[in-house]
Structure 1
Amino acid sequence: MPHFTADDVREHLKTVYDPEIGINIVDLGLIYDIDLTERDDKTDVLVTMTLTSMGCPLGPIIMQELTRALDGLPNLGEVDVNLVWSPPWTPDMMSEEAKDELGIW
């Protein structure tokens, strides 16, 4: 049984903001999947995500912040990020709250 759930990971990731847009990466729709794997007494996390564009200069910073945001999870093992470009990100992937904040209807 994991020490935490994918929902717990998602809540921690809500503290990571895209510096250019000012919305967290979960509400932006950048997080596609979260896989947890038990290993010994640790839980490894694999986050599959994208960025708003392939040329996003802040991608490495966002991924560093993602790893840092998960540090507080109990018995955290390895954290890996699988950066994908398919499906490509669109504003339709944002939460209703993020769309409201940015004035997108």
Structure 2
Amino acid sequence: MTRDFLIDGREADDFSELEEGIAQVMKTIYDPEIPVPIWDLGLIYGWEIADGADGKDVTVRMTLTAPNCPAAETLPAEVEQGVNALEGVGRAAIDLVFVPSYSMEMLSEEARLTLGLM
């Protein structure tokens, strides 16, 4: 199963239990420079879930606010660790992408409110 939030948006009413868990993990991880979860920042572009030998293999496609982001080493590792801790996940991996480039249009309404952009 593949989700592409750049095409479909981040709010889906047909998330599986595992996908709900993945989304919840993303809502607990904050960019260290911005007081907003990476989910609301729009840093999660999507994921792919496939059957693996030891459970579900999950590959999260994400970006950073900038390629030279100070959290470039820690943020993807935190996402990988959080997804790996979910029940039913055999292996989690991060696909760090920079195309398309991150922009402020990717912010959720909640993030815009928090950052005073509304």
TM, length-normalised to structure 2: 0.80
Out of 12, 28, 44, the residue aligned to residue 31 of structure 1 is: 44
Deviation at 1:26, TM superposition (A): 0.5
Q: 2:95 aligns with which of 72, 79, 82?
A: 82
Q: Distance in 2 between matches of 1:40 and 1:69?
A: 20
- Structure 2 counterparts to residues 1-105 of structure 1, below 5 A: 4-105=17-118
More helix by share: 2
C-alpha displacement at 1:87, in angstroms?
Answer: 0.8
How many positions carry a matched residue from both structures? 103
In the TM superposition, residue 94 of structure 1 has moved relative to its aligned partner by: 0.8
Contact map agreement 1:15 1:69 (CA 8 A) in 2: no
CA distance in 1, matches of 2:55, 2:73: 25
Give structure 1 stretches of 5+ with no counterpart. none
Following the alignment from structure 1 to structure 2, what is the Cα–Cα distance between the partners of residues 64 and 41?
Answer: 20
Greater relative CO, 1 or 2 (CA 8 Å, sep 6+): 1
Alpha-carbon displacement from aligned partner over 1:42-100 (angstroms, at most 9, x marks no partner): 01110001100011021111111112222431121111111111111111101100100
Gaps of 5+ in 2: 1-15
CA distance in 1, matches of 2:21, 2:62: 17
